[in-house]
Structure 1
Amino acid sequence: MVDELVVNLSRAQFAATALYHFLFVPLTLGLSFMMAIMESTYVMTGREIWRKMTLFWGTLFGINFAMGVATGIVMEFQFGMNWAYYSHYVGDVFGAPLAIEGLMAFFLEATFIGLFFFGWDRLSKVGHLVVTWLVALGANFSALWILIANGWMQYPVGAVFNPDTMRMEITDFMAVIFNPVAQAKFVHTVSAGYVTGAVFVFGVSALFLLKGKHIELAKRSMVVAASFGLASALSVVVLGDESGYAATEHQVMKIAAVEAMYHTEPAPAGLSLIAFPRADGSVWELKVPWVLGLITTRSFDTEVPGINELVEHAEVRIANGINAYTAMAALEENREDPVARETIAETWPDLGYALLLKRYRVDIENATPEEIAMAAADTVPDVWPLFWTFRLMVGIGLFFIGFFVFAFWKASTGTLDKHRWFLWGAVAVMPLPWMAAEAGWIIAEYGRQPWAIEGVLPTFYAASSLTVTDLVLSLAFYITVYTILAVIMVILMVKAIKAGPKDYVALLNGEPDPMETPEPKSDLPQSPDSYGDDKAGKPAPAE
């Protein structure tokens, strides 16, 4: 029987490492392209301020990238340590995009990062610009292959069950690459990363203006961030709509759970803004008519199935999957049994549903109708955490559209530094894109439960046979180490921001820093501070 504590601790460990790792990924994606845009402007105009900007934001990118690498490597090892049967059952499929990510994307990015920092005085302007763009492309290629692997877990295409090896094997690698769920997840995720980078650059630049430091760098950085952020925020919403459509095609239960929709509604279904469960099991909700139907089906006449109807469908698939499981047992006794092979060929897509019964009994071919009903009910993820997490994510996304519309307008009129309240607001909202990104991953992964691979392999069946002690100790170790790394990153980032733009290549070579030039004073009111001013509240000497 299943040891639920072992499974839950394994899930908690992977969730903790994934969520920590994803603190660094969005900023890496966003800063990489903004650095490339800034350096492109430097090469085209020859103005030193743009080189200064590229180096400053590149330093923050380098700190974030290093921490992302440190936290990301452990995740891949966990597939073998905590999810041994998962690795055995689908390793031939899942391992391919991860291997390509390491060879094609990670090494590309890591190699050119060194050239980015130490190639300024060794490469031509155009040569160094090419390096910077390759760093940005490497970061995005890395995300692409990881999300192809993750997208296959959400919608396992291009692979079949092989009764001879009792494993899933690739039959169409191009189908794996161009998986519609993976492609929708990729563009949505990287767009969210671009928003994160834009908010970070805008917020730090706003802080510089509030403190009267690095005025020219801050103003130009804010213009780039406002433009890049507006385009990214709009694309997040549009591409999020595409993700919803893809999920409706291939993960209907997730959509029903996100909407707390227990019964199929007449088409087109309405979108719930808020909802609360009643004591009698019904749901009170405030709906916007037609919106859910339009987002998920792109039509006015297609229903979106409710949870109860989907559970009934799961019961049918479980019963069919039992036939596949029985045929597998027959095939183990006689590898040439033609009837068993034919049965497996017809029923293997439902084999994973039959494995849900392993939670209740070992000999699942003898499952009772009550046990089948319980297994079918297990296909429903926890509704209310998904419902509210989704609305948090969407609310933040819509907020940033309005934020960047205002920022872009002020940038276009050259008045970004005229509203102190807006600058403080820009600093205050800096954590929001990380909250939205983490919420998005919770929806994607928690909403897939009870599946490690949608419809193919239950999560509890994929776990390794570890002890509770092993998992508790390793979970505590990972959380401790990752928390230390996160604190170190924050300290390093704060120190780099306080230090301001520096030409670290020149300093390493023992040369004077060409960036140490006086800057014009800001017309914003000055305030005493701990951010570089002396204790009497007087402005620090000009750099």
Structure 2
Amino acid sequence: MDEMVTDLSRLQFALTALYHFLFVPLTLGLSFLLVIMESVYVMTNRPIWRTVTRFWGKIFGINFVLGVATGLTMEFQFGTNWSYFSHYVGDIFGAPLAIEGLMAFFLEATMVGIMFFGWDRLSKLGHLIVTFLVALGTNLSALWILIANGWMQNPVGAAFNPETMRMEVTDFGAVLFNPIAQAKFVHTVSAGYVIASVLVLGVSAFWLLKGRFVPVARRSFTVAAAFGLAASLSVVVLGDESGYALTDNQKMKLAAIEAAWHTEEAPSGLTIVGIPDLASQTTRYEVKIPWVLGLIATRSLDGTVSGMSELVLKAEDRIASGIVAYDAVETLKVNPTDLAARAQFEAHRSDLGYALLLKRHMADPRNATPAQIKTAAWDTVPDVPVMFWAFRIMAGIGLLMIAMFATAFVLCSLRKHMEARWFLKLAVAAIPLPWIATELGWVVAELGRQPWAIEGVLPTFLANSSLSRAALWTTIIGFTALYGALAVIEIRLILATIRHGPDDGEPQHEPAPAPLAHPLPAAA
């Protein structure tokens, strides 16, 4: 086993996934912003709202194309770079991906064409319905993808079959209604709504600062402020729900996020800042808020949050149990009718994946020593410093988004958003922040699952294909160069579209507002 091949395969998938997720959340959010804007047009019959909708529809279209292109490449990697993963769990993992293509993507792709070319061929209400179907298809695509990803985090509704040596579906309903998948879906789409709102708010603020396209800018600003405030509040609330889901299903990930080396007495405190120290298994200079983590993670004052040291001890027990299951499987390979081996396997089947962790250190897990079992158990701890800081930066940006959208909403309500130039500059500068937060969110979600490709079932180092290092470096460099070029093209197209502005024949310039009788000081 060449661990460099595994690391390069992980790197390639991480790069394509993070790159793909630059475009997906913007598509998710813009689709429903278009529905809101066009609904106002249908209800008021004011042409300016048609202009607003069509302009942001262009941005949606540019982003949609690249999102599709990068998503296809990412899905193909399951067959090229992760062939054993596809063989081992393809019966379960492939179903949501297939349904996503058949149900959601075709609906979305078909309706996108009608949305762009049907403005003069459909009634106003008919076109609004098409726009809604585009948004529905976009969000359904995210749902099915996140059902697949959620199953990787919490593999319910499936079991290992020693006759086929693969994981097979036992309850597809449990796969669909996986609590981790549902929590990830609502949290992820809410983050997409925030990203789209920040872009619309920032571009509108830029236009207002320049005095260009003011009718479109001030209406777009108002819609983004209201939608963004609701979305940013939802992200925090639904993120809290995701944290609660981790308490039962991914305790090690939660412990790594909080740098909780040892189990504390209930209720646990929430660490705001600190420096995780791997050598001493402590967090230096930590600042804690008492009780908060216990309330978030357990919804009680008497529930405990397990520390990594205690979870490692449990992993040792599960590895020992998994060795028994592994021995039974090896016996059943030779004699499938061995009833004693079958009973032995059934008693320990849930821990089989833990025995596979030992394959990093030896060919046959049955030969493991206590020291090797302990080493394999510590492999279940993810990169604590990265998890700790990635989560805190993500959460900090989330709180900043709430503050920004709340301010924008108040300014719009007081009709002072066109005069508050300090805030308009802030809105422009804030455009990159939610993208940084969502990328860090995926780092927390995926790095926190390591060393598992499928949590508790299949270690990552066993899931990849037998590729050469040269082949992987070639594709990594090729994909990076290609996607880098496509990113430059998209950004240039979006910037050119923003500079050009709306072009539906509507008046785009309004006289600048009269100055206040008592202008605010510059630092206000």
Q: C-alpha displacement at 1:502, in angstroms?
A: 2.4
Give secondary structure in 2 for the equivalent of 1:121: coil
The question of 1:274 aligning with 2:268 is answered no
CA RMSD of aligned residues (A): 1.1
Paired residue for 1:380? 381
Give the Cα–Cα distance (whole angstroms) in 2 for the partners of residues 52 and 193 of structure 1: 23
Q: C-alpha displacement at 1:335, in angstroms?
A: 1.1
Paired residue for 1:523? 513
Q: C-alpha displacement at 1:412, in angstroms?
A: 0.6
Q: Which runs of 5+ in 1 are unaligned?
A: 504-513, 526-543
Q: Which runs of 5+ in 2 are unaligned?
A: 516-524
Give the Cα–Cα distance (whole angstroms) in 2 for the partners of residues 496 and 280 of structure 1: 54
Paired residue for 1:186? 185
Paired residue for 2:101? 102
Q: Is the 8 A contact 1:209 1:522 kept in 2?
A: no
Give the Cα–Cα distance (whole angstroms) in 2 for the partners of residues 280 and 467 of structure 1: 38
Give the Cα–Cα distance (whole angstroms) in 2 for the partners of residues 242 and 169 of structure 1: 29
What is the letter of the counterpart of residue 116 of structure 1?
M
Paired residue for 2:249? 250
Paired residue for 1:511? none
Paired residue for 1:69? 68
Paired residue for 2:358? 357
Paired residue for 1:298? 299
What is the letter of the counterpart of residue 118 of structure 2?
G
Q: C-alpha displacement at 1:224, in angstroms?
A: 0.4
Give the Cα–Cα distance (whole angstroms) in 1 for the partners of residues 503 and 142 of structure 2: 30
Give the Cα–Cα distance (whole angstroms) in 2 for the partners of residues 280 and 346 of structure 1: 37
| Runs of 4+ displaced beyond 3 Å | 277-281
Q: C-alpha displacement at 1:161, in angstroms?
A: 0.8
Give the Cα–Cα distance (whole angstroms) in 1 for the partners of residues 34 and 130 of structure 2: 11
Q: C-alpha displacement at 1:443, in angstroms?
A: 0.2
TM-score of the pair, normalised by structure 1: 0.93
Q: C-alpha displacement at 1:524, in angstroms?
A: 8.3
1:38-57 pair list within 5 angstroms: 38-57=37-56
Paired residue for 1:332? 333
Q: C-alpha displacement at 1:521, in angstroms?
A: 2.5
Distance 1:358 1:191, change over 3 A: same
Give the Cα–Cα distance (whole angstroms) in 2 for the partners of residues 265 and 522 of structure 1: 60
Paired residue for 2:521? none
Paired residue for 2:200? 201
Q: Is the 8 A contact 1:26 1:196 kept in 2?
A: yes
Paired residue for 2:520? none
The question of 1:231 aligning with 2:221 is answered no
Give the Cα–Cα distance (whole angstroms) in 1 for the partners of residues 35 and 514 of structure 2: 30
Q: C-alpha displacement at 1:276, in angstroms?
A: 1.4
Paired residue for 2:406? 405
Paired residue for 1:486? 487
Q: Is the 8 A contact 1:202 1:225 kept in 2?
A: yes
What is the letter of the counterpart of residue 364 of structure 1?
P
Give the Cα–Cα distance (whole angstroms) in 2 for the partners of residues 411 and 277 of structure 1: 43
What is the letter of the counterpart of residue 296 of structure 2?
I
Distance 1:225 1:366, change over 3 A: same
Q: C-alpha displacement at 1:283, in angstroms?
A: 2.0
The question of 1:265 aligning with 2:264 is answered yes
What is the letter of the counterpart of residue 513 of structure 2?
D
Give secondary structure in 2 for the equivalent of 1:520: coil
Q: C-alpha displacement at 1:363, in angstroms?
A: 1.4
Paired residue for 2:80? 81
Q: C-alpha displacement at 1:345, in angstroms?
A: 1.8
Q: Percent identity?
A: 63
What is the letter of the counterpart of residue 210 of structure 1?
L
- Higher mean displacement: 236-245 or 330-339: 330-339
Q: Is the 8 A contact 2:214 2:508 kept in 1?
A: no
Give the Cα–Cα distance (whole angstroms) in 1 for the partners of residues 447 and 432 of structure 2: 22
What per-residue deviation string (whole Å, max 9, x for no partner) do you get for residues 182-205 of structure 1? 000000000000000100000000
Distance 1:421 1:524, change over 3 A: farther
Q: C-alpha displacement at 1:158, in angstroms?
A: 0.6
Give the Cα–Cα distance (whole angstroms) in 1 for the partners of residues 104 and 346 of structure 2: 37
What per-residue deviation string (whole Å, max 9, x for no partner) do you get for residues 82-131 of structure 1? 11110000000000000000111111111000001100111111110000
Distance 1:4 1:518, change over 3 A: closer
Q: Is the 8 A contact 1:381 1:446 kept in 2?
A: yes
Paired residue for 1:420? 421
Paired residue for 2:22? 23
Paired residue for 1:469? 470
Q: C-alpha displacement at 1:344, in angstroms?
A: 1.7
Paired residue for 2:113? 114
Give secondary structure in 2 for the equivalent of 1:418: coil
What per-residue deviation string (whole Å, max 9, x for no partner) do you get for residues 285-315 of structure 1? 1100011111111010011110000000000
Q: Is the 8 A contact 1:418 1:524 kept in 2?
A: no
TM-score of the pair, normalised by structure 2: 0.97
Paired residue for 1:443? 444
Q: C-alpha displacement at 1:280, in angstroms?
A: 4.3
Q: Is the 8 A contact 2:30 2:60 kept in 1?
A: yes
Q: Is the 8 A contact 1:148 1:176 kept in 2?
A: yes
